Amino acid sequence: MFRRMGLVLFLLTLGIGPLRAQDKPTVLVHSFTVASGVKFPYDMTELQKRAVDELKSKNATQFDVVTAAEGVTTKLYILDGEVLEWHKGNTAERMLIAMGSVAGRENAKIHFWLSDKDGKKVYEHTDVIRQGFMQNGHEKSIGTLLHPFAEKISERLKEAKLGPESAPSQ
């Protein structure tokens, strides 16, 4: 009798697991654009890849993350964004005047939003990202803003509450 009950419970668990996984929405991450007149010297594809990795790492329980919508069967949200401003920063100012604080650090103002499949914005946010404190590491294709860019988006999308138990907030 216990074997039958155990088998029934096991089969029920197998059947319910995929149903719960389907409740988790999917976020399609597009590459950000740059506002007209703004010089932004970095590869947007690299920033997109890093954002996808960060979202998968830190937001996996809330939603799935993809860069192409093929085969997505769950509720789909599209993440788009734009770099509104970029300031190169100044190492001498950062090191001598500000002792590594905000002054002199490379920074950018970004605006990003989530839309549903019909194009209706369900969440949007504008933020300033800054080079990490006392970090001078610079990579030609992505600069010093790679990690702050991905981290900021990941943290802000937690506020969107995309999980199956809650609706997105404005």
Q: What is the pLDDT along the chain (170 residues), one digit of tens a residue?
A: 556 655 555 655 555 545 444 589 999 999 999 999 999 988 999 999 999 999 999 999 999 999 998 888 899 999 999 999 998 876 665 455 545 455 667 889 999 999 998 999 999 999 999 876 554 454 554 567 888 899 999 999 998 888 655 445 44
Q: What 3-state class would DSSP assign to 96?
A: helix
Structure tokens at 136: 């001078």
Count of beta carbons in the 10 Å neighbourhood of residue 91: 13
State pTM to two decimals.
0.74
Question: Residue 24: CB partners within 8 Å, gap ≥ 6?
Answer: 62, 63, 64, 74, 163, 164
CA 45 to chain centre: 13
DSSP state of 82: E
Are residues 24 and 63 in contact, defined by beta-carbon separation less than 8 angstroms? yes
The listed CATH number (3.30.450.70, 3.40.50.360, 3.40.220.10, 3.40.50.10610) that belongs to domain 24-159? 3.40.50.10610
Count of beta carbons in the 10 Å neighbourhood of residue 88: 12
First-residue to last-residue Cα distance in the chain: 53
Q: What pLDDT shows up at residue 7?
A: 56
Are residues 104 and 130 in contact, defined by beta-carbon separation less than 8 angstroms? no
